[in-house]
Every structure is written in structure tokens, then in C-alpha cells.
Amino acid sequence: MHPLIADLIANGPVLTDGAWGTQLQVRGLGLGEFPDVWNLSHPEEVEAVARSYVEAGSRVILTNTFGANRIRLADHATSALELIREINQHGVMLSKRAAQNQALVFASIGPTGKLLLSGDVTPEQVYAAFLEQAHALADAGADALVVESMGDIEEAKLAVAAAKSTHQPVVACMVYDSGAHRDRTMMGTTPEADAAALAEAGADVIGINCGRGIADFPALCRRMRAVIDIPLWMKANAGLPELVDGKAFYRTTPTDFAAFMPALVEAGAQFVGGCCGSSPYVIRETYETLRGLPRTQSRLDPGTRSS
């Protein structure tokens, strides 16, 4: 196990952060505006979001770099393409400034937005885009890289390979929201199959983010835990959104969200946090609940301390 990860999880579950998009919207990010460019245009707001999670109790915070890969930027924010390295590096810098020595910074790498299977993009192009982003993030000092919101295991594997080339720890998580039981990715793969594939690809931490509400996460977590011994990362939505008076509304309250923590930890999660609909309030409640859990050593064997 990577020593950074082993150290983090040694004394129990690690609290990550919550949603960034909605927090930036509260601070003025417009509908359809590409959030990542705010690292350059509104750095103080981005840092404020990062800081709000550190203050809420997050031990690990992410970065505002979810969409900052060349393929996604080429489609949606062409003018920002030449600033791609800066966007990524400022994202890390802002989170690190907010984190100080209270939290670690795991840099976010999201999907390209294009389906490999459609032929719109080649594996080589996808790998190159992730490679560029991963190195920009690692060079800026990210403590680890998080490949998140993946709906296609093939794309996830390319992202993990690119991220691993930086020699930083790599977290890889998938989204499960399809199928009769809403337990498959949109491409049809299962938590078990994906966990095994990501372990084989060398991810240091494997997990699930988005897709389902917190109530559904313990069961999904258990399914991954059943097939791998690697630390698990669970970042759930605070329920699913409803449109009320033209605005998205998430019905799961901070208290309700936090109430699922014992079950999620019991199901084998080492890293827990919130995704869509979560806020610093949700993270604060979760922090309090986790603090109240009996202190346990990590059930996972840290193994030999090698990178």
C-alpha cells in the first residue's frame, strides 16, 4: 500500500470533501460557465470553497480541475486551451493554500466527455489528455490524484495509467446509476468487475462517486469490498435532485447524510465524502458523526511500505 494512504487510513475513516460546482454557483458561477476557469478568473472564490471544506473537517480536499483535460476543454472552453496547465496548477495551488497543514490535496481528474466506443476519440488521444493533466497536477504538488466520475472502465483504466506515471498515489472511482437496480455504469459494468479491473490497473484507492444517494452506497461499497483488499473511497450524492421552482433541490439533509456513516464504514469504506448536493454543512455533520464512532485501527493490512 502507498505509505501516504497507509498513514492516512491508519486511525480510521478519512473524511474527504463535498460538492464544488454548486458551491461555486452560490458564489456566482453562471449556468453553463466552465467552473475550472475560475481558478484563473476568480481564485479567491475557489480558495474560499476549498477553505470551507477544510474548516468543516475534511482531511482530504479535492481541486477545481474536474474538467481541465484537453479533450473536454477543446469542446467547451476553447479559449482556455492554451491555459490548460495554468488552470490545473492554480487549482492545486488554491486548494493547498486553503488546506495549509490541516488537510491533504487530492487533485481531481474527471472524464473527457467523449465515448471511446463511439470512435469520436482514440485511446491514444484519451491517454495523452490525461497524461498532460496528471503531470500538471502532480508538478504543482498535489498529494494524490483522483480519477473520478468515470462511467466507462476503459476510459478509467487509461486515466489510471496516466496518473500512475506521476508516481503519486491514485484514487479511481466509478459512477453507478444504470440498469434495473441502478448498480451498473452506463456502459453496463458492475462494481465487482470494475473494482477488480482498477486493482489490476494499479489504483491505490478504488471507489464510487456520484450516481446514487448516500442510502444506496453501503450496499455498493460492500460489493467492492468483497472482491478487493484495497482501500475504498465512497463519495455519495446527498440524495437525487428535484427541480423545485426552477432550482435543483437535494432532499437529503446533513443529519440524514451523516446518519449513514456507520453503515458505510462498516461496509468497508476508508474514505468517505459527499458529491452532488453536499455542502460544508453536510461535511461538518459527517465529521461529527465520524468523530463519535469508536476508534478502530484500519482493518486493512498496510503491507510493506513501498511506493
Partner 1 sequence: MQDLLPLKESVIKGDAKSARSLTEQALASGAEPIQLLNDYLVPAMNEVGRRFECNEFFVPELLLAARAMKASLELLRPILAQRGTAPIGRAVVGTVKGDLHDVGKNLVVSLLEGGGFEVFDLGVNVPPEKFVAAAREKNAQIVGLSALLTTTMPSMKLTIEAFRTAGLRDQVKILVGGAPVTQRFADDIGADGYGENAPMAVALARKCLGLAA
Of 171, 217, 208, 168, which Cα lies nearest the Cα of 189?
Answer: 208
Residues forming beta bridges with residue 47, ordered by sequence position: none
Interatomic CA distance for residues 131 and 88, integer angstroms: 12
Stretch that binds partner 1, among 37-45, 55-63, 81-89, 109-117 (CB under 8 A): 109-117
Stretch that binds partner 1, among 25-33, 37-45, 82-90, 100-108 (CB under 8 A): 25-33
Q: Which residues contact 14 (CB under 8 A, 6 or more apart)?
A: 8, 59, 60, 270, 271, 272
φ, ψ (nearest 5 deg) of residue 195: -60, -45
DSSP string, 251-272: ---HHHHHHTHHHHHHTT-SEE
Q: Is residue 187 at the binding interface for partner 1, with CB under 8 A as the rule?
A: yes
Q: Is residue 301 at the binding interface for partner 1, with CB under 8 A as the rule?
A: no
Number of DSSP helices (H) and strands (E) in the chain, helices first: 13, 10
Per CB under 8 A, the list member of 246, 294, 304, 307 interacting with partner 1 is 246
Stretch that binds partner 1, among 46-54, 177-185, 259-267, 294-302 (CB under 8 A): 177-185
List binders of partner 1 among 127-166 (CB under 8 A).
Answer: none
Q: Is residue 241 at the binding interface for partner 1, with CB under 8 A as the rule?
A: yes
Q: Lay out the site mask for partner 1 across 43-82 (x = CB under 8 A, - = otherwise).
A: --------------------------------xx------
Provide the grid cell at 5.
494512504
Q: Is residue 25 at the binding interface for partner 1, with CB under 8 A as the rule?
A: yes
Q: Which residues bind to partner 1, rule: CB under 8 A? A: 25, 31-32, 75-76, 113, 115, 117-118, 177-180, 184-188, 241-243, 246-248
